[in-house]
Amino acid sequence: MTVPDFAACIKEKAIEIGFDTVGITSPLTLKHTAANLSDYIGAGHHGTMTWMEERQIERATPNGLWPDAKSVIMLGLNYGPSTDPRLLLGVPECGNISVYARGKDYHDLVKKRLKQLARWLVAEMPCELKVFVDTAPVMEKPLAAAAGLGWQGKHTNMVSKEYGSWLFLGAIYTTLDLPADTAHSYQCGSCTACLDACPTKAFVAPHKIDARRCISYLTIELKDAVPLEFRKALGNRIYGCDDCLAACPWNKFASVSKEAQLHARSELQSPLLSDLVQLDDQHFRTLFSGSPIKRIGRNRFVRNVLYAIGNSEDGDYLPLITPLLTDESDVVRDAAFWAKSELG
């Protein structure tokens, strides 16, 4: 079998396994991104995500992480929601959770399928390879754009003609020298819907985001108290934010994910703040077993819930806040005092 023929077989197998889109690119396509990454970190836009700086060289190009890589296989899995995730923003008694975290942890699902494809690939064409999904220093979005899966929109996320802004990405680095696909053309035009939708004005310019102002960063990555200037803008967003993604006009062509495990769990579609704020560590772990939300821990999560309660304008929450004024966690106590002052 010729290498081009095998590349076509890889794509067919990936779709058979359950991926929705697949493309191939060269590790050399990202040389220009090293400067962009350096500028991003130099400006401090990565906030407290020190791992980006510590592994900058490995992240900048695939060969920085693995010098032997000759090709990168990029794979996408559609997680399109059934409704506009912003609808819940108008329901203050409920917590709004980012679409990607309402179902099963996508890391497990994508990693399992990447390994399945990798086992088949090695059996068919002996080679070395490595699989990645989000947790390694890999520039998934630029690589996916280079592989033809879509393009990076002005919100810095992937956009696809078929799947809008709703694609999970996985990568396989391999020693096979496969023919590269054509990079996707840029399709945003003059549209700024994603930039205009950001509640905290996190975009310093098109294609440039200051994570320190991003609600996803503030509610997920930031371990300390959220700065006062952003707490009102959080609204009832308690884990992540989909505003810039949901605002993209290309979503009109998107479809609901065919993967049942990525559909929202019933208890996370419109969870009541009154229930969530009472979670102790044990009940938090039980509720979010198998969920990416479990990663941030009970204290950070309840902190976010208290901000949402503080924004609710509902004094009936005060009895639920009172016990948390003496919570063992500094961030929970701080958020409880803030919520009480807002409602008082």
Residue 171 is predicted with a pLDDT of: 98
DSSP-derived 3-state class of residue 163:
coil
**Residue type at position 344:** G
Question: Average pLDDT for residues 316-333, to the nearest whole number?
Answer: 98
Q: What whole-number distance in Å separates Cα of residue 183 and Cα of residue 145?
A: 6
The reply to whether 327 belongs to the active site is: no
Contact 131, 174 (CB under 8 A): no
Residue 31 is predicted with a pLDDT of: 72
- The predicted-structure confidence for 156-172, as pLDDT tens digits, reads as follows 999 999 999 999 999 99
- The predicted-structure confidence for 206-262, as pLDDT tens digits, reads as follows 999 999 999 999 999 999 999 999 999 999 999 999 999 999 999 999 999 999 999
- The predicted-structure confidence for 325-334, as pLDDT tens digits, reads as follows 999 999 999 9
| pTM confidence score | 0.95
The partner residues of 208 in beta bridges, in order of sequence, read: 205
Residue 2 is predicted with a pLDDT of: 65
Question: Average pLDDT for residues 120-125, to the nearest whole number?
Answer: 96
Residue 226 is predicted with a pLDDT of: 98
- Out of 68, 105, 134, 330, pick the active-site residue: 134
Residue 119 is predicted with a pLDDT of: 98
Residue 196 is predicted with a pLDDT of: 98
pLDDT band at 5 (very low <50, low <70, confident <90, very high): confident
Residue 335 is predicted with a pLDDT of: 98
Centre a 10 Å sphere on the Cβ of residue 193 and count the other Cβ atoms it contains.
17
Q: What whole-number distance in Å separates Cα of residue 103 and Cα of residue 62?
A: 30
pLDDT band at 35 (very low <50, low <70, confident <90, very high): confident
- Is residue 137 over pLDDT 70? yes
Q: What whole-number distance in Å separates Cα of residue 20 and Cα of residue 17?
A: 9
pLDDT band at 1 (very low <50, low <70, confident <90, very high): low
Percent of the chain scored above 70 by pLDDT? Answer: 99
Question: Average pLDDT for residues 166-180, to the nearest whole number?
Answer: 97
Q: What whole-number distance in Å separates Cα of residue 256 and Cα of residue 308?
A: 28
- Is residue 4 over pLDDT 70? no
Residue 30 is predicted with a pLDDT of: 79
Question: Average pLDDT for residues 193-217, to the nearest whole number?
Answer: 98
Residue 32 is predicted with a pLDDT of: 76
pLDDT band at 306 (very low <50, low <70, confident <90, very high): very high
- The predicted-structure confidence for 247-290, as pLDDT tens digits, reads as follows 999 999 999 999 999 999 999 999 999 999 999 999 999 999 99
Residue 33 is predicted with a pLDDT of: 84
Which DSSP category does 110 fall into? Answer: H
